[in-house]
Structure 1
Amino acid sequence: MNPKSLRQPSLTRPVGIVSVGLHIPPRVVTNAELIEGLDTTDEWIRARTGIAERHFADSDSATSDLAVAAARQALDAAGIAASDLDAVLVATFSPDQPLPSTALTVKQALGADHALPFDIAQAACAGGIYALLVAAHLLQNPAFSHVMVVGADCGSRMTDPQDRTTRVFFGDAAGAVVLGGVPEGFGLLAWDTGDDLSHAVGIPAGGSRRPFSEAVLHDRSHYLQMNGKGAWNAATGRLPHSIREVAARAAVPLHEVDHFLLHQANINILADVMKQLDIPIERVPVNVDRLGNTASASIFTVLHERMAEVEHGDHLILSAIGAGYIWGSLCFRHYVGGK
């Protein structure tokens, strides 16, 4: 346990969700299409992951293109201009390229001329949680009024087409949130974070330790590699505790939480986590069957799909774990303007 996660958090300036946006590439990739050449079956994928299909970005699209589309939708929903943004944060493990910055690319495409660009680059599937937390702290600056947070990934580009272990899991998507000030008693009430270094899930090559080379291309270590059992143990071992912790810090009993929004990694992980919490799985929105694991975008996809049902004063818990391992949970009390 990270000792910092034991501190009771508080924000001087309350920060809440102003609007959301989502972009899903139109191309649907079914299990039947994906398993050609892989030693697996549609039945195995559905039983082990719950995934029936996922979406892949077109070959001429990059992560920033997905991010910009989601961000524009969030700006429209917020009724603000890109020039009103004070910062743009992009969480991704599949940047357009190592340099320049993906957040800078997104900022420029939006026309957010006054915004600071920040990349949250290596938190993987927990990137959205960490980006929201960083954004909330940026908004403690009285000079900041709105911050755009985007979680976007082209996970299909990071998996080995020959690897049945990882290839079937990931889809491409982007989600966006505009954060801004809200009245006292609303917005981000509490958070919990933790980490435990592990190489069970990761991309071994392509960095300074193992730069690209013929050997890397030959052993395919520039692709995502995953120990399924390790990932299962980390997710089911860490997320229930984190969710309990953030609810306690927000002083909200678990059974009074209105919306549980969990990273969509695997239907069986979702079921196990909720069983440990003694919360019916029916209370958790699920889209992993249609979208697969969309990594940094995942938490935003379920948030976007659920927002139509979120009412003024509702409590939301967002929780995710990513390679590293890095995990975290946030508790919001939603504010609807004019209430």
Structure 2
Amino acid sequence: MSVGIQSTGAFFPSTVETAADLAMKTGIPEQVIVEKFGLVQKHVADDSLHASDLAIAAGKQALEGIDPLAIDVVIYFGSPHKDYTVWSSAPKIQHALGATNAYAFEIMNVSSCFPIALKVAKDMIVADSSIQNVLLVAGCRESQIVDYTNPRSRFMFNFADGGTAALVTRNSSVSEVLASAVLTDGSFHDDVRAVAGGSKHFASHETVEKNLHYIDVKDPQSMKERLDPVSISNFEQVIRQALQKSGHTPQDVSLLLPLHTKRSMFKELLRALELPEERAIYLSHHGHMSSLDPCVGLHLAQQEGRLKKGDLAVAVSAGTGYTWAATVIRWLGE
């Protein structure tokens, strides 16, 4: 029995912010934003679209030609910045998609979550013979929580909005999900967070006035000094481990599907794996959408015809906290 991704979906709001627009907001030169940070433009949602709406739009694409009643499980793996706090978006998404035979729940590990969600979906199908189809869905509106006036966090201007989905099925004819590897270094747990809104700093006039509901970095220099020495090596470790468990090496990789990072980190990872840039998807026109990036990359790769029968793709991401994760996918379709 093989378990694989049968179909994908992606949805982006129509409003676009260019590098020139971001230069005006941040004071960072447009050329630096494009060349150093690798961002030409990003999509930004208006007040009519929230994380659940973006996930639903992508889910509808992934289910085109498929009876939603055949879905057994709906899992939301997207941004924790959702329509409401203390609220699960998964039931709303299940209902809107008409997947009324499915139970629905959420998993969340910020930006690292897609490779983990693939592992969870595969493991559920392998462990439970009654599960045939698991729909992974995600939305992101994290452009909304960037404070462009905060020098500690304005480098996160690549945070963008969108939705994505992947239908994971038993005996997929399109792809096979192979092995995964996950690594967590919890010493980074306090470096990045939206300070207010939780139980520690409950929402108040003071938290609003102090802009504490935006994403913030406690001490950027300290985080950089601790993160830079381990980031690439941890990316490389989970990729190599997932490949080894799948019976492969980096030389077998046809396409790397990473999260959006600054260009220097992207190139350094490729060098570590000895992969040319044409064997990777870089989201220069989409930016960073929390956990969505590798799934969006897979969807774009399919649209562009960049995967053929026998190809090996690796979805890899990392999320603050800090967790690195990778999952290997073998392409079965033409």
Whether these two folds match at TM > 0.5 is yes
Once residues 319 and 121 of structure 2 are traced to their aligned partners in structure 1, the CA distance between those partners, rounded to angstroms, is: 19
Gaps of 5+ in 2: none
1:40 maps to 28
Match of 2:192 among 195, 201, 208: 201
CA contact (8 A) 1:17 1:334 kept: no
Counterpart of 1:49 (choices 19, 25, 37) is 37
**Secondary structure at the counterpart of residue 297 of structure 2:** helix
Name the CA shift for 1:240/1:146 in 2 (closer, same or farther; >3 Å).
Answer: same
Deviations 1:165-184 (A, max 9, x none): 24521111111100001279
2:178 to 185, 189, 192: 189
The 1:240–1:167 alpha-carbon spacing in structure 2 relative to 1, beyond 3 Å, is: closer
> What code does the residue aligned with 2:300 have?
E
8 Å Cα contact 2:165-2:295 kept in structure 1: yes
Shift in CA distance, 302/57, structure 1 to aligned 2, threshold 3 Å: same
Q: Are 2:141 and 1:150 aligned? A: no
Partner of 1:328: 325
Change (3 A) 1:60 1:246: same
Aligned with residue 266 of structure 1, among 262, 266, 269: 262
Q: Choose the corresponding residue for 1:60, options 34, 42, 48.
A: 48
Work out the CA distance in 2 between the residues paired with 1:188 and 1:65.
27
Match of residue 283 from structure 1:
279
Contact 1:71 1:176 (C-alpha < 8 Å) held by counterparts: yes
Counterpart contact for 2:115–2:180, Cα < 8 Å:
no
Flag the 1:37–1:261 CA change in 2: closer, same or farther, 3 A: closer
With over 3 angstroms needed to count, the CA separation of the structure-2 counterparts of 1:196 and 1:100, relative to structure 1, is: same
CA deviation after TM superposition for structure 1 residue 150, in Å: 1.5
Asked if structure 2 preserves the Cα contact closer than 8 Å seen for 1:159 and 1:223, the reply is yes
Shift of 1:282: 2.4
Matched AA of 2:43: H
**Secondary structure at 1:49 match in 2:** coil
Residues 5 and 172 in structure 2, CA contact (< 8 A), matched pair in contact too: no
Q: Is the 8 A contact 1:240 1:274 kept in 2?
A: no
Deviations 1:247-302 (A, max 9, x none): 11111121112221111222221111111112122211212x21111112111111
Partners of 2:172 and 2:166 lie apart in 1 by 18
Q: Is the 8 A contact 1:187 1:334 kept in 2?
A: yes
Q: TM-score, normalised by structure 2?
A: 0.89
Match of 1:294 in 2: 289
Displacement over 4 Å in runs of 4+? 230-234
Equivalence for 2:161: 172
Partner-residue secondary structure (3-state), 1:26:
coil
Task: Give the secondary-structure state (helix, strand or coil) at the position aligned to 1:36.
Answer: helix
CA contact (8 A) 2:23 2:33 kept: no
Q: What residue number does 2:112 align with?
A: 126
Distance 1:234 1:68 in 2: 36
Alignment correspondent of 1:97: 84
Superimposed CA distance per residue, residues 13-54 of structure 1 (whole angstroms, 9 cap, x where no aligned partner): 531010111101111101222333433221232233111211
Match of 2:216 in 1: 225
The whole-number CA distance in structure 2 between the counterparts of 1:163 and 1:182 is 49
Q: What's the % identity of the aligned pairs?
A: 25
Q: In the alignment, what sits opposite 1:26?
A: 14
Residues in 2 aligned to 1:60 and 1:200: alpha-carbon distance in whole angstroms = 31
Change in CA separation of 1:16 and 1:96 when aligned onto 2, cut-off 3 Å: same
SS at match of 1:137: helix
1:128–1:150: 8 Å Cα contact kept in structure 2? no
Q: CA deviation at 1:328?
A: 0.6
TM-score normalised by the chain length of structure 1: 0.88
- CA–CA distance in 2 between the matches of 1:256 and 1:58? 42
- Answer yes or no: is 1:238 the counterpart of 2:228: no
Q: Distance in 1 between matches of 2:185 and 2:16?
A: 35
CA distance in 2, matches of 1:108, 1:171: 26
CA distance change for structure 1 residues 234 and 217 in 2, over 3 Å: closer, same or farther? Answer: farther
Aligned equivalents of 1:203 and 1:235: distance in 2? 22
2:24 match: secondary structure: coil
Q: Which residue of 1 aligns with 2:249?
A: 253
For residues 200-245 of structure 1, give each alpha carbon's deviation from its aligned partner in whole angstroms, at most 9, with x where no partner exists: 2222221122221233223322211233726655532310111111
Secondary structure at the residue paired with 2:80? coil
Map residues 1-16 of structure 1 onto 2, 5 A cutoff: 13-16=1-4
Contact 1:275 1:281 in 2 (8 A): no
SS at 1:142 equivalent: coil
